[in-house]
Structure formats: structure tokens, C-alpha cells
Chain A
């Protein structure tokens, strides 16, 4: 959580200025992160093997490979190649995909809606299913419901997503034709991949809801609230849950980031869901350097943007947090 610092007695004096100064600094850090990621990906994709030989069919002759390499600039020093790429990227030109011969960033952006649809559905499912369960478990620590919640949330965290996806496919698409095995287009295509993607975040969020609620339940303000004569429901929802919401919201946002930045690749591949996660797999399979570069760039952008957003959410939920 980068620059967020908790100080119980510090209150922001000059909110606007603090935020804009903070924002500028985070922006600067973000640019460094994106540049760093780009450099690493660029070097890795070009340092492993001969990119020209890897792009051409087995039958290509040495002359053909050399001609292709010259045309693509693969024989220039790496620093020159990176400079070419970066200076164009700054102007929004990420080069053409070697595989589909279309502007690479365009291909990635074309896939963005499908991934956003999948990941946002999954995080909504995960949050909606974890909050009631976590609260119920926290209300009766040690009860069978609490034990059950603890165990199945652990299963949710540990279960490999490709395995869960295949099991759901066999059960709900092959045995009973309730949903589709794969593909894109209708809510019936969306359900299984969304559940698969939601499992891990659901498990982790349930655990954090349970533990933060249990912490809050023992705070003295709860006693005060009850002593005031508030109903138990009001005490739990308005007081305990409100205070427990900071770690919950932070974790949920962080889980969404992790989905976009990684989990979605496996799930999209299993379900043939045409998002940018599947595109990343396809780009790697086709050894499409420019497409991999564009895909990773967009993911890096999303991650830093989400991180900044999380900080703001955090600060807005907890008046004790100062962004500096």
C-alpha cells in the first residue's frame, strides 16, 4: 500500500494539496514501474533464442531468416531496438502483431471488454458471497458454521483454478446442459468462468471478513453501541461492518487487480474466453513479441491504476489515513 500510512491521531490539514502532491508522486512511481516492466519484457522476449528463427516455419532457409531479421530490426543492438519501440509507444504506436499483422495495442484493446466483464462479474460474486458468510461465522466463533466457513474458504483459496474449471464444465455443461463449456456471448457462457475465477478471491475475502469482524466485535465501542440500546442488527451492520470494511474493500480491490493481472489467463484459456488473458497465451504460443509487449504494457497500466485507486478508496474509508 505504497504511501498510505496509518497514524491514529494525525488528521489531514490541507486535504486538496496533500492529495494532488500525493497523486503526482504516485504517478511518477507508476511511470517508473511501467518503464521497468517494459524493459524487462523487452529484454526477455528478445534475449531468449533468435526471434526471427522462432517466428518463421521450420523449413525457412538461413537466408530467409536473415532477411526477416534485418527487416524486423532484430539484428540492431538491444538498446536501439528498445529506443525504437519506446519512442513509437509514447506516440501510441505499439507496432504490428507479428502473428495477426494488425496494430498490436488494437488487438489487445479489442479483448479488453471480455476480460473486464469476466473479472468484474467474478469480484462481485466473490464479495457478495463472502460478506454474509464471513459475518455469520464471526458472530458464532467455534460453531459448526464457523468451522465450515473456515474450511471451505481454505478450499476456495487452495483449489487450482484450471481443475475447478474443468470440474464445473464436466458437471454443469457436459452432465447437465445448464451452461456452456466454453465460448463467449451470453450470460450462460459467463457463469462457469466467473465462478471459477471467483473461487480464490472468495476464499480470501471470506477469511478477512470473518477475522476483521471478530476483531471489531470485541472492541469497546460495540459495548457502548449495545448499551445505547441499538438493535443487534444495527450494531453489527452500522458499527462493526463499517469499521471492518477497510481491510475488506482493500483486499477486494487487490483481488480484482490480481485477477486482471494473472488469474484470468488460466481461466480464459480453459473456457476459451476471448479476453486479453487468452490473447497473452496465444501471443506466447505464436511467439508474437510485439503482441506480448502490448499485452503486458496494458496489464501493467491496469495494475498501477488499480493500486492508486485502492489508496484513494482506503483513505476515503478511514479518516485516520493520510496520503503522503
Chain B
């Protein structure tokens, strides 16, 4: 009896091993939409030559690497770059941005105007349908706006649409968006708010989160969790059918594997390529991105409450050397502000503190802070070269006679310190900031106002400027306020300004694409060449 049980177990074990080893591989999960789903192959044959693009209709397929599985495919819920990369091709917005200048352009809206302080009117394009046949109209816009701001829905994207309090249908193709006060950034917000189909989105939340339906150039095909998301060209797209027939998004976590997959020809677009890998990539493109590493200074404590000391810290840093040594030159010096020229409010007259260690030492001496000891908190692994950057900066600060105590902490502790409030903030803390709304308000209010969530600096002048600008609807006046605030923050050396990192993309040799300032990936802008 005993032996029999043992044998049975062995037999069962062997059978299951063999079955698993020899069995036909099945996808790890059921595709979320069975109809018309193509066979779940995750990658094209490595040597597949691109299909010759016929003159008519979308053709060929590409694979885009993303960092992780999307958290959801509900376009209005999560603050997740992986989800956005996919849904930017399925859904559309009322407005969009020029890829190079950042200027706001019409998308699903043909035109827009501000009616009064709190009302913006949009005239919509006619005759557009969602992929499931639902009509795109004023009702869909109001539904989309009210869905994302619904407190019960509790969207992680709420801060992107924070000023919106509702919408009003004027006629089928005219809609008003209402704000809680004057909001000059409303058009920028409308490049963010994705328009969803009312009937489908309210039917079954779970289905909607797994099988998106938009108006965009690509239609959802399937999502096999952990493996891939596939989209196919929308031949009836109102803006003209896109050139590439099928797009697969594949999560690959490991950077070395992404590079290998690109080299092997298994994938066509790799985002966030690290500069060291560029020499091994045949086709790559780079553009100044939105990410700024920066160092927060606690301006409330000795000796950092002295503006001379803060300026000395800025003079002491050789920004060019950091860009070259750590990022292979794929970074620009931040011009005394944490904004790109594409951000509304960028001040073109403000420039970076030059590298001048002698000036730094003089200023420290004047302030009586030579040889002062400063605590410098950093973290490791969240951003590209974060720890290396902290160490290089500490060395440069020590070179001007300061005594820097570097403290690399766990992510959770780092977060606690970042949000600890101005009083408890460490003297220096490394962080990184990016502002996808492309409007100075988000950056200035979070980092440089007394009440800012990550601020350890406060100045009544700046507070007032940022507050007034938030509701100033005269565009030029508003820009002027930001210019003034940016200049003050730079003169006061409210932080250590560092670099603006590039976004680097590796592409397969036959893929043509120009990356965008805002970092979005629109597959309709890509073409495959023979």
C-alpha cells in the first residue's frame, strides 16, 4: 500500500513533467476579447523582412517595448506610462500638441474659444465614430469629463483635470467645458483628457478596463497579461488610415534584454534606452525630454537660509561634465529653471549658473559657511544614474570646501523625507521632476511655493505670482508672471539646477519616426520603409 502510493506520486510527477515539457504551449491567459483575435504569437520571426508597403492601406507590423504590463486599459483611471503608451493610439483628445513646438492644435475638436472666465466652448468634428460604432458627439465629451472627475471613480489622473467641474451639451457638435474658476491651462488639460464612448464605458467597468474602444487610429485586438497587447489599424480612421497595420506592445523589464531584442530584430521600438547602449544600436533617435533631475535645498535651515550659500552650491556644479560623464552627452544643462522651452512659462532670458568653483568658494567664505557640513539624501534605482549623479555632485561640492554627508536611503524613506514638509526636509535632497502638462503652474506650485507638496522654499512674491497666474486668463500677462517667478527662483537659488535628460529611442533599421517633445508615442506617425 505504502509503496503503491509512492509509485503513484512518482508516476503523476513524471507525467506532469512530461506533459508540461512536451505539451503545446498555451497562452498564459485567455485573451480578453476572443472575437477576431489573431493567434497569440508574441514576436515576429526574427528574420522576417518587412512586408513591402503596398500603395494602399495599412500593412506590416511592429513591436514596441514597454517597461511593464499596463495596470489597466481604462484610459481615464491610472497614472501609468505603460497604459498611456498603448491608449494614446486607441483614444483621442479634443486637442493635441505640435510634436516639436508644443503648440496646442485641434484634434477631435475643430476649434475652441473661451466664452467667459469659467466656460470654454469646443466645436467638434462631425461624422466620427468610436470603434464599436457609437457616435462621437458633445454627449461623449460631457460623459468623458464627468466620468474622470467623479469622486467615486477616484481617478489617479485627477490632478491633470483638477479644475474641471463639468460639461454642457450645446448641440450635437458643440460642447462647453466648465471650470471651478478661471483656468488658463484648460486647453492643455484637454490634450490629456481622453474621450471615451458613453454607452460602452458605462456598461461593464471590468470589460472597459480590459478591452478599450476609442476613436483613434488603432483598434484594440487583445491583451494577454504579462505577455503583450495587440492593436490593429483602424482603416476608417477619420484622419486617414495609418501606415502600419499591426502594433504589439511587449513588456520587457530587463534593459539588456530590450537591447538584445532590438538587435535581434524581434522588436522595433525601445524606449528609455541607456546612453551606453547607443553604440550598439543601428538606428536611434533622441530628443530633449521632460525629465529634470534636481536637488531640493531646505532654505529654512542654517546655513542654507543664506542665498549666497545656495548660489555657491549652484556655481560649484559642473553641469556639462555631468551630462557628458553620466549621460554620454544625452542631457542638456537646465537653464536656471525646471522647465523646457516647450513649457508655457519658460523664461528664455534666464540662464544656468556657470561652473565657477572660485566664485563658489568666495561666496561660501562671505557667508561664513566654508567647510560647513551638509546632509545630502539620495536614492538608488528609481531614475537613470540617480546614485551616480548624487555621488558626482557630492564630490564637486566637496571640491569647494564643503563637507557632504551622502545618505542613500530606501525609496520609502526617501518618499517620507520628500513629503515631510519644509521643517523636516533634509538639507539637500535629490529628486527628479517631469511635467507632462507643459504648463509652468504644476512645477512652480509643487516645488517652489510655501504650500507646495514637495517644497522646502517659500517666498511671498513667488507665492503671489503663482497664485495670480493660475487664474489669469490674459495669456501674455500670465506668461509675464511666470517669467518673473522663474527669474526670482533662479536669483534666489531656490534649488540646485542640474540637467534636462534626453529621451532616447532605439528603432529597427527600417522604421522611420521622429520623437515628440511630450514623449508620447503615436504609431500613426511611424512608417516602415522597404
| Bound-state Cα–Cα, A60 to B162, Å | 12
CB neighbours (8 Å) of B17 from chain A are 120, 123-124
Residue numbers in B under 8 Å from A100 (CB-CB): 69, 71-72, 225
Output the least CB separation between A101 and chain B (Å).
Answer: 6
Stretch at the interface among B134-142, B251-259, B300-308: B251-259
Cβ-based interface call for A187 (8 A)? yes
Report A-chain residues with C-beta under 8 Å of the C-beta of B26: 113
Taking the nearest CB of chain B, how far is it from the CB of A19, in angstroms? 6
Partner of B226 from the list A49, A166, A278 (CB cut-off 8 Å) is: A278
Is there an interface contact between A15 and B1, defined as CB atoms closer than 8 Å?
Answer: yes
Interface positions, chain B 393-411, Cβ under 8 Å from A, are 410-411
Residues of B in contact, count (CB < 8 Å): 64
A24 to chain B minimum Cβ distance, whole angstroms, is 15
| Docked complex Cα distance between A61 and B6 (Å) | 60
**Interchain nearest-CB distance for A109 vs B (Å):** 10
Cβ-neighbour of B20 out of A50, A117, A166, A177 (below 8 A): A117
- Cβ–Cβ < 8 Å partners of A221 in chain B: none
Indicate if the CB atoms of B257 and A317 lie closer than 8 Å.
no
A1 within 8 A of B: no
Q: Give A78-105 interface residues, CB cut-off 8 Å to B.
A: 99-101
Determine if B79 is an interface residue (Cβ-Cβ < 8 Å): yes
- Given that A285-B68, A286-B68 are known contacts, is A181 also in contact with B29, CB under 8 Å in the complex? no
Q: Once the chains bind, are B2 and A54 in contact (CB under 8 Å)?
A: no
Q: A272 touches which one: B18, B29, B257, B453 (CB < 8 A)? A: B257
Cα separation A35 to B479 with both chains bound (whole Å): 60
Binary per-residue interface labels of chain A (300-313) against chain B in the complex, 1 for a CB within 8 Å, 0 otherwise: 00000000010011
Q: Are A181 and B261 in contact, CB atoms less than 8 angstroms apart?
A: yes
A190 touches B25 (CB 8 A): yes
Residue of B nearest to A117 (CB): B20
A121 and B411 CA atoms in complex are apart in Å by: 37
The answer to whether A184 and B251 touch (CB under 8 A), given A49-B416, A124-B17, is no
| Structural contact, A101 and B25, CB atoms closer than 8 A | no
Number of residues on chain A facing chain B (CB within 8 A): 67
Please name all residues of chain B whose beta carbon is closer than 8 Å to the beta carbon of A174 when the two chains form the complex: 260, 263-264
CB distance from A178 to the nearest CB of B (A): 9
Residues of chain B in range 1-43 having any CB-CB distance to chain A below 8 Å: 1-3, 5-7, 9-10, 13, 16-18, 20-21, 23, 25-29, 40-43
Quote the shortest CB–CB distance from B13 to chain A (angstroms): 7
Which residues of A (32-49) have their CB < 8 Å from a CB of B? 48-49
- Nearest-neighbor residue (CB-CB) of A314 within chain B: B6
Complex contact B264–A181 (CB within 8 A):
yes
With A274-B28, A315-B6, A317-B6 in contact, do A49 and B410 touch (Cβ < 8 Å)?
yes
CA distance A87 to B59 in the complex (A): 53
Give the contacts of A119-149 with B (CB-CB under 8 A). 120-121, 123-124
List, sorted by A's number, 28 A–B pairs whose CB atoms are closer than 8 Å. A16-B1, A48-B410, A48-B412, A49-B412, A49-B416, A54-B412, A99-B71, A100-B71, A110-B226, A113-B26, A124-B21, A166-B257, A173-B264, A174-B260, A177-B46, A177-B47, A181-B257, A181-B261, A183-B228, A185-B42, A186-B41, A189-B25, A269-B254, A271-B257, A272-B252, A272-B253, A286-B68, A316-B5
B residues contacting A by CB (< 8 A) are 1-3, 5-7, 9-10, 13, 16-18, 20-21, 23, 25-29, 40-43, 46-47, 68-69, 71-72, 79, 156, 159, 209, 224-228, 250-254, 256-257, 260-261, 263-266, 410-413, 415-416, 418-419, 442, 446, 453-454
